[in-house]
Structure 1
Amino acid sequence: MRHTSHYVIATAIIVAAAPAIAQTSVTDEIAKYRQLLADGNPAELWEMRGEELWKKKDGPQKASLEQCDLGKGPGVLKGAYVELPRYFKDVNKVMDLEQRLLHCRMTLQGLTREQGTKTPFASAGNPSDIEALVSYITAESKGMKMAVTASHPQEKTAYEIGKKIFFHRGGAHDFACATCHSTDGQRIRLQELPNILTKSNAQAAYTTWPAYRVSQGEVRTMQHRLNDCFRQQRFPEPLYGSDAITAVTMFLAKNAEGGVYNAPALKR
């Protein structure tokens, strides 16, 4: 009887631990896969194309984007992304990278809003200039720490609005961003769901976007990531470059403060 009891107890422990063991195994294998590809991240091709687009004289005004001010002065890219979103005095509002980039394309190159937002997300045979430009700009902040200040009143307001959106429940499934991203250890299929309310998780998640998505064969920006989250919640898809997305981005970026930026990264 004693041996039987020990056997039953041991079996129960193994069965109970099996999901955790399986989860760890899958996570480890995905990490190994990413590591194997890390030295040849296809996102580098997007970065190269983005640099060409940044320096190319384009639009009705035949101007490059080299005088675009992303917050550290005209044309300064080093360290700009890790301080975004931020308040811009010239437009009296808080902007994230993609909003500000659109502003520069309109004011410097003379594009209309419709032209500037054309193809924000690439599809088969239809590349996106925006994703390439974002790849180039963000790569210039690799190795630097996230340092979004949220010191201006409008930055504080954007943060609070982003926080409210993060916790707001709605849509056909009564979901919120927090449904998936406010608890430790959650997953969807093989995908880990980081708890954004935990600093280390917020840092790990935010500092690896944009990223080359192996499953899609494209670099995807933070705007795309958030739009896709809203889609999965069955919310109406936000307009590209909307203030709502900038507010959510402010909330995420501020939560990731101090994390070392390491993107464009590589994801499944």
Structure 2
Amino acid sequence: MKKRILLGALGLVLVFSSPLVADEKLSMSPEDRALYEEMLENNPADIYVEEGSELLEEYIGGEAGLAKFLGVSEDELPKYLAGFPRYIKKIGMVVAIDQMLQAAMYANGKKPFKLKSSQMDAMAAYTKSIANGEKINIDINANEHMKEYYKLGKKVFEMRRGGRGLSCYSCHSPDIVGMRLRMQILPDLGAPKVKAAATWPAYRMTKGKMFTLQKRFQQCMKNALLAKIPLGSKHMVALEVYVTNMAKGQEIHIPGLKR
């Protein structure tokens, strides 16, 4: 039996279904499902990841240059990358992978790509893919900086904003997870089948392009009619820290594939 719940703030109807009815396949047409299955084998974002490999080589010196900048060995690099966002002493702040790459480019005498650029998306995707097969090992208790960012990220996640008073928590609280919004199941961001932070950057079928996790956050904000938090800002990185910690222990698989 279905239970309809009207959320006045959203002005939309969310429908709660049994686990069987709530199968993800109901969020797609049979045609889209077939396309999704095909793309699992041939993800269009693989092209962006390959481009990112070339950019990393040209601007930072490849994996060897990146490892040198981070002060780790090439063998240690995959596991180290699985711990982002993290505090980097030479940068002096908690950063996501793309900001770290900007700093590495600058240290290498190159003009850094802007965070909103497709080149940065590609390089960030490749860099995170180096950690494929590793498990997310972010440490929110590593130092006072990480503790501060985690606390701020939780605040941003739960903060109600805009005329409708919505927050990330409005759609991803335990009471809402499993319901539907526009025929799409609202997920638990840390669940093994979702593991959001472990599968972004990802290719979005509905948009026909690849997005980073922070850009996905901005899309959600736009859809909820909220002011978008700037990419790379303290509040945005803190939000990524908080959401990444939800998927701690989940295996990284980049690029992901999303509806």
Q: What SS class does the counterpart of residue 148 from structure 1 fall into? A: coil
TM-score, normalised via structure 2 length: 0.80
Alignment CA distance shift 1:64-1:27 (3 Å):
same
Deviation sequence 1:29-58 (CA, Å, 0-9, x none): 66665333211111111111111111115x
Match of 2:123 in 1: 133
**How big is the alpha-carbon RMSD for the aligned residues of Structure 1 and Structure 2?**
3.0
How far apart are the structure 1 equivalents of 2:16 and 2:159? 35
Percentage of identical aligned residues: 24
Matches of 1:43 and 1:27, distance apart in 2: 22
Contact 1:202 1:255 in 2 (8 A): no
Task: Name the one with the larger helix percent.
Answer: 1
Which residue number corresponds to residue 104 of structure 1?
Answer: 104
Residue number in structure 2 paired with 1:193: 186
Query: Which residue of the partner structure matches residue 73 of structure 1?
Result: 72
2:11 maps to which residue? none
Q: Establish whether residue 256 from structure 1 lines up as the match of residue 256 from structure 2.
A: no
Q: CA deviation at 1:177?
A: 0.6
In the other structure, the counterpart of 1:52 is: 54
Deviating more after overlay: 178-187 vs 161-170: 178-187
Q: 1:90, 1:107 → 2: CA distance?
A: 11
State how far apart, in whole Å, the 2-side matches of 1:154 and 1:173 are.
32
Q: How far apart, in 2, do the equivalents of 1:14 and 1:248 lie?
A: 33
Q: Are residues 1:265 and 2:253 paired?
A: no
Which amino acid letter does the alignment assign opposite residue 147 of structure 1? N
Q: Distance in 2 between matches of 1:237 and 1:27?
A: 26
User: Counterpart of 2:207 in 1: which secondary structure?
Assistant: coil
Pair 22,161 (structure 1): closer, same or farther in 2 beyond 3 Å: same
Alignment-derived partner of residue 113 in structure 2 = 116
Q: Counterparts of 1:31 and 1:79 in 2: how far apart (Å)?
A: 33
CA contact (8 A) 1:146 1:259 kept: yes
| Aligned pairs (5 A) from 1:1-268 | 20=18, 23-24=22-23, 26-27=26-27, 33-57=35-59, 64=61, 67-69=65-67, 71=70, 73=72, 77-111=77-111, 116-117=113-114, 120-121=116-117, 128-150=118-140, 151-182=142-173, 183-196=176-189, 199-200=190-191, 204-268=195-259
Relative to structure 1, the CA distance from residue 187 to residue 105 in structure 2 (aligned partners, 3 Å threshold; closer, same or farther) is farther
Mean Cα displacement is larger for which, 78-87 or 63-72? 63-72
- 5+ residue gaps, structure 2, are 5-14
Q: Which runs of 5+ in 1 are unaligned?
A: 1-12, 58-62, 122-127
TM-aligned CA deviation for residue 263 of structure 1? 1.9
Deviations 1:186-212 (A, max 9, x none): 22223222134xx42696222221111
Q: Is the 8 A contact 1:68 1:108 kept in 2?
A: no
Contact 2:153 2:239 in 1 (8 A): yes
Alignment check: 8 A CA contact 1:212 1:265 kept: yes
TM-score normalized by structure 1?
0.78
Q: In 2, Cα distance between the equivalents of 1:77 and 1:52?
A: 18
